[in-house]
Amino acid sequence: EIIKAADRVSLREERSKELARELGVESLSVTADPAFLLEPASREWTEHIKRREKISGKDFLVSVKDGNNFGERTRPELIDFLAADIAALAVEHSLTPVFIPMHPGKDSVFTRELCEKVGQGRVVTGLTASELCGLLGDAEFAVGTRLHMLIFAARMGTPMVGISYDPKIDAFLDYLGEGKSLDVRTLAAGDLFGAGSEIIKNRDVIAANIAARAAELRKLALTDCAAVAEIMDDQQLRQE
């Protein structure tokens, strides 16, 4: 009832639209997550962060979450599979893994354990969304279980691999039209290495496709801003 009473219902991908229709909501729009409107940190500030964190050369960003919704996949198993493939990607492609705990209160311990298991790379904390976008803009690709890690990567035209634990990850990657999704419940040794290596092999084409789609989604997100402004103007006129 709350949704039906709203002046505007805006969803960020098509699968949410299907669910909303099942709930009886007919008047809605599919646009894009407002995170597509974020501006990255400046070139100078991004370089400052990289110097501060001792990040040099080519890198890829990793943001993974701890959780109890990974099916029968145990925590040690997940760390082992991810660590082995991250280490292999770093060696094979001469990349530095940079680990980002998106939700410090929930992800920090898992992230540090994963970094230690990999045996190389950096854990970077305390970033703003704009600073993270700045780093993503320089990265070869991103790996994420957190949805907004993938959205920020898309915003910057950076290829990505989603480690899916929830339908929203697959729904976003489908809507984006690019990005590999690996199910955390069935993830096997070599899966992430294969997905990352495929990105490296075809990076220019993938990045161009993502950048073009991100530009479209940015325009859609702007329509929400315009719609909200119009609704607020109408409400103000009614109050007057």
Q: How far apart, in whole angstroms, are the C-alpha atoms of residue 195 and residue 63?
A: 16
The residues near 70 (Cβ < 8 Å, ≥ 6 apart) are 78, 165, 184, 185
Contact between 45 and 131 under an 8 Å Cβ cutoff? The reply is yes
Q: How far apart, in whole angstroms, are the C-alpha atoms of residue 74 and residue 31?
A: 36
What predicted TM-score, i.e. pTM, was given to this entire model? 0.89
Contact between 155 and 32 under an 8 Å Cβ cutoff? The reply is no
What totals of helices (H) and strands (E) does the chain contain, helices first? 9, 8
Q: How far apart, in whole angstroms, are the C-alpha atoms of residue 112 and residue 83?
A: 11
Of 221, 235, 236, which Cα lies nearest the Cα of 13? Answer: 221
Q: How far apart, in whole angstroms, are the C-alpha atoms of residue 147 and residue 61?
A: 14
Of 211, 227, 233, 228, which Cα lies nearest the Cα of 153? Answer: 211
Query: Tens of pLDDT along the chain (240 residues)?
Result: 666 677 777 787 888 878 777 777 777 788 889 999 999 999 999 999 999 999 989 999 999 988 766 766 778 888 999 999 999 999 999 999 999 999 988 899 999 999 999 999 999 999 999 999 999 999 999 999 999 999 999 999 999 999 998 889 999 999 999 888 999 988 899 999 999 999 999 999 999 999 999 999 999 999 888 877 877 776 666 666
89 phi/psi in degrees, rounded to 5: -65, -40
Token pair 């040099």 is found at 56
